Structure 1
Amino acid sequence: MSSIADNIGSVTRRIQKATLLAGRQPGAVHLLAVSKTRPPEDLREAFAAGQRAFGENYLQEALEKIEALADLEGIEWHFIGPIQSNKTRQVASAFSWVHSVDRLKIARRLSEQRDQSLPPLNICLQVNINEEDSKSGSRITELPELAAAIGELPNLELRGLMAIPDPDQPEADLRASFRKLANTLKRLKTDYPDAGPLDTLSMGMSGDLELAIAEGATWVRVGTAVFGKRPVKS
């Protein structure tokens, strides 16, 4: 059975190869190790192998890991799960990035509750790219107004967009979903140049990261290919 370090090496090579094939600059794409449900020991092993950015979906679980791994200098925490209004204070305090902002109310609370001593909180707007009723995220038509309003908030840095396209759609449709998100970001950057850097596309996972990179991903969110399959609950 391969180790977490071996897995990180394999995923990193996949990212590098896909980046090269897409004609993009080396280092243009970053690996976000999705560590939900994984014990702190697994994250510590990944850190020892050179991984620094970890994505968490569940706040309480994440806070426990952040405390357990507080000795790891340079570790970077990304929140990638749904955000409830009553949890924004803890998210604003504990994380460097939030990939799952989908409405102005949440953004305002994160801005108000971000400690002034901390750097601005990097955020991505989550987009319901396939307009699925079961998925969180803003509709594309809502993004211009949302981006303009968030650009006025202090303590936040609007970095870009995140989406979780339907992984079961045909490859051509999946690629089209990634391209649609990339084109949406380009339009926002042109129309709202003062809203934030707008330099980030958080898209692509273990099974489709090559497609996402070909269409412009800058963060790929990878769990299974890094940590292995989650144990089946009894």
Structure 2
Amino acid sequence: MNMLQQSRNQVLAQIQSACTQAGREPDSVQLLAVSKTQPSAILAQMYEAGQQAFGENYLQEALEKITALKALDIEWHFIGHVQRNKTRPLAEHFAWVHGVDRLIIAERLSNQRRDSQAALNICLQVNIDGQDSKDGCQPEELSELVKQISLLPNIRLRGLMVIPAPENTRAFADAKALFDVVKAQHAHPEDWDTLSMGMSADMTEAIAAGSTMVRVGTALFGARPKKAE
């Protein structure tokens, strides 16, 4: 067993343990491999180890990997901040976009998604604990955003993504409460099924609070290599 297979098995075991402690089914939490700055060859090895969903933060780097690994059945997630002038490649090349925080971004993604493609899955990023340094809509803006965005064609509004401040595990419970409250505002509430929160250091707490998708990089790949300038 290679190191990547071993690390993935360890993370899956941690997810399973956290689910058991929380009284949840182990398959209720999806593992998203955060692969920013990792070379395509490493992603290919992790794919061979059984990982299919990969999350990328940097658009140009991600597009290069998507081209290099096009023969593999990878589910590509964009988890970085979404810039208004870069929505077209996101709409065309990704299965999921997590960092949506404005109606105009969702409208552009909807308009630029090809009719021949499956609907683009999106999560709304919420600045759940009011950090000045974090992107995301404010919690009080979420209800209206959900009402408007859930009506757009060519996208499926799936849920929320949050990145609380380190050690602020209380924010996970706040995010779950908000997730439950705004589901009623969704035009298609059956689509509202994804709460993307928790990373290598705090996935256990996030799962206990109700996360359905954990975004894990370091625990899978080790310390990240520095991004080339």
Give the equivalent residue in structure 2 for 1:35. 35
Alignment identity in percent?
Answer: 54
In structure 1, runs of 5+ residues without a counterpart are none
Distance 1:60 1:233, change over 3 A: closer
CA distance in 1, matches of 2:226, 2:34: 18
Please tell me whether residue 57 in structure 1 is matched to residue 57 in structure 2.
yes
1:38-61 C-alpha deviation (Å, 9 max, x unpaired): 000110010000000000000000
Q: Scaled by the length of structure 2, what TM-score is found? A: 0.96
Q: CA RMSD in A?
A: 1.5
Give the match for residue 14 of structure 1: 14
| Cα deviation code 1:158-177 (max 9, x no counterpart) | 1000000001x3xxxx2310
Unmatched 5+ stretches in structure 2:
none
* Count of aligned pairs between the two proteins: 227
Post-superposition offset of 1:180: 0.5
Deviations 1:56-112, CA, capped at 9 Å, x for gaps: 00000000000000111x210000001111110000000000111010010000000
Shift of residue 198, structure 1, vs aligned partner = 1.2
Q: Go from structure 1 to structure 2 and tell me whether the alpha carbon gap of 1:196 and 1:155 turns closer, same or farther (over 3 Å shift).
A: farther
Match of 2:197 in 1: 203
Distance 2:225 2:90 in 1: 27
- 1:233 and 1:98 map into 2 onto residues whose CA distance is 21
Within 2, Cα distance between the matches of 1:69 and 1:105? Answer: 31
Whole-angstrom distance in 1 between the partners of 2:93 and 2:19: 31
SS in 2 for 1:24: coil
TM-score of the two chains, using structure 1 as the length reference: 0.94
Shift of the alpha carbon at 1:20?
1.1
Give the Cα–Cα distance (whole angstroms) in 1 for the partners of residues 152 and 130 of structure 2.
Answer: 27
